[in-house]
Amino acid sequence: LLYDLPMHYFQVSVLLLAISDTIANTGGYLRRWNPRFNILGEEKSILGVLGFAITAYIIFRQMLPGSGQAYLLYILLAIFVSINTEIISFKGSDNLSVPFGIALFLFLTHEQAVNSMLFIAVIPLMGLIAWILSWRGILTRYGSVLAYILGVYFIAVMGFSWIIPVAFFFLSSVLFTRLNGIVNKKPSGTNRRNIWQVLANISVATVCSALYLNKGNEIWIYSYITLVGAVTADTWASELGPIFNRKCLSLSDGKIHNAGISGGISFAGTLAALAGAFIVSLIGGVLLLGGMDWKLVFILSLSGFLASFIDSLLGAFVEPHLDEMKYFQKRRIPAGSKVNPGIHGVDRLTPNDLVNLLASMTAPVFFLVISKL
């Protein structure tokens, strides 16, 4: 991340790991006047966090050049971000999360106009929202932490215009998933999304947004919109299709099966996919491209829809083979097990997550091909 940026960025990232993280760990051994709290199943301490913050302030002030009120606000923001990289760590992952997290922050904010006060306000707000999502059973614990990080990134770094397509996808998906669960009488708690599902849906789009921030090329905006449109189309088809059509056509054997199988398509699901891709493309076109270019919206919509169809093809012909792989068989929860991944928050990578990720990545390819045609 930092190979062609100022050397003091690298030095700060390493010093925070070597000094601040060590102080935080040492502070955890103090028992008197040291309240504890639990994040991701690992105990943290107030004195540990305070020691981290103080040493981080000294490191930033000594290593980062600048002066004035804006500089001090930026330092305060950097401390907030650094503390978060340590708090969300577990089982020794702070050895990665601390240096990588602050390096990513410095990379994204390098020579950028940063609204530090907005950033500082968004951090606790997104923390509260993430806690509610976990508490209400919408996301697993790890999934809510990732949603927290992504929310802070999109609002404070990219801006509100960038998070609205993602928020629309997420809220509509939650609504239709719950509706599908009620109509088809699915067990309560089985629809909780985990960290792998969040990554499969949003990770590539997030990378595209960061590339636009760094490169300034509009192709990354188009890619971002089509990626969000593709996952929206796929989710809407998966959740709304079984509500309106009890049967579906299996692409793997060409026969009619009960709705909801991998690789199945239905008339209602197809219409839902088209609608989802179109609405996201319309929102993205207006907010991120500054206009209502109907030809462009059509190409973006079609690209997202075709990617959702690729998801069905992969679900029919690739997912069964992935499901037989030893890696996924070891991670599968045995039938009849009392462990419910939705209720207990078990985050397991599944073949369907991998299929969703691969299929969504075809959306920008479709956009480039259709644009040329």
Most confidently predicted of 233-242, 347-356, 363-372: 363-372
Output the six-digit token pair for 265.
């398509």
How many whole angstroms separate alpha carbon 200 and alpha carbon 360?
8
Distance, C-alpha 274 to centroid of its chain = 23
Residue 329 reports pLDDT greater than 80: no
Total residue count of the chain as it appears in this document: 373
pLDDT at position 338: 52
pLDDT at position 301: 96
Residue 40 reports pLDDT greater than 70: no
Q: What are phi and psi of 43, to 5 degrees?
A: -75, 135
Weakest-pLDDT range from 23-37, 73-87, 194-208, 295-309: 23-37
Output the six-digit token pair for 260.
């909801």
The mean per-residue pLDDT over the stretch 367-373 comes to 94
How many whole angstroms separate alpha carbon 42 and alpha carbon 129?
20
Output the six-digit token pair for 278.
């179109």
Question: What letter does residue 138 receive in the DSSP assignment?
Answer: S
**Range 75-87 burial, b when 16+ CB lie within 10 A, else e:** bbbbbbbbbbbbb
Output the six-digit token pair for 36.
């504890």
Among 313, 193, 176, 302, CA closest to 244: 176
CA 325-328-334 angle, to 5 degrees, is 120
Weakest-pLDDT range from 25-39, 71-85, 201-215: 25-39
* Count of C-beta atoms within a 10 Å radius of residue 121: 13
How many whole angstroms separate alpha carbon 147 and alpha carbon 157?
15
Mean pLDDT for the chain overall: 87
How many whole angstroms separate alpha carbon 142 and alpha carbon 165?
22
Weakest-pLDDT range from 113-122, 130-139, 240-249, 339-348: 339-348
* Count of C-beta atoms within a 10 Å radius of residue 201: 25
Beta strands in 193-282 (DSSP E): 247-250, 256-258, 264-265
Amino acid at the residue 351 = P
- 26 Cβ contact partners less than 8 Å away, ≥ 6 residues apart: 48, 51
- 65 Cβ contact partners less than 8 Å away, ≥ 6 residues apart: 8
Whose structure tokens read 């499901």? 323
What are 156-191's pLDDT values in tens digits? Answer: 888 889 999 999 999 999 999 888 888 877 766 567
- 187 vs 95, higher pLDDT: 95
The mean per-residue pLDDT over the stretch 144-163 comes to 89
Please compute, for residue 281, the number of CA atoms within 13 A of its CA located in the half-sphere on the CB side. 28
Among 204, 281, 198, CA closest to 235: 198
* Count of C-beta atoms within a 10 Å radius of residue 187: 10
32 φ/ψ sector (left φ>0, alpha ψ -120 to 50, else beta)? beta
Long-range contacts of 29-33 (CB under 8 A, 24+ apart): none
What are 283-298's pLDDT values in tens digits? Answer: 999 999 887 788 999 9
Distance, C-alpha 162 to centroid of its chain = 13
Whose structure tokens read 């990545």? 361
Residue 339 reports pLDDT greater than 60: no
pLDDT at position 120: 79
Per-residue pLDDT band at 344 (split at 50, 70, 90): very low
pLDDT at position 343: 42
Question: What letter does residue 186 receive in the DSSP assignment?
Answer: P
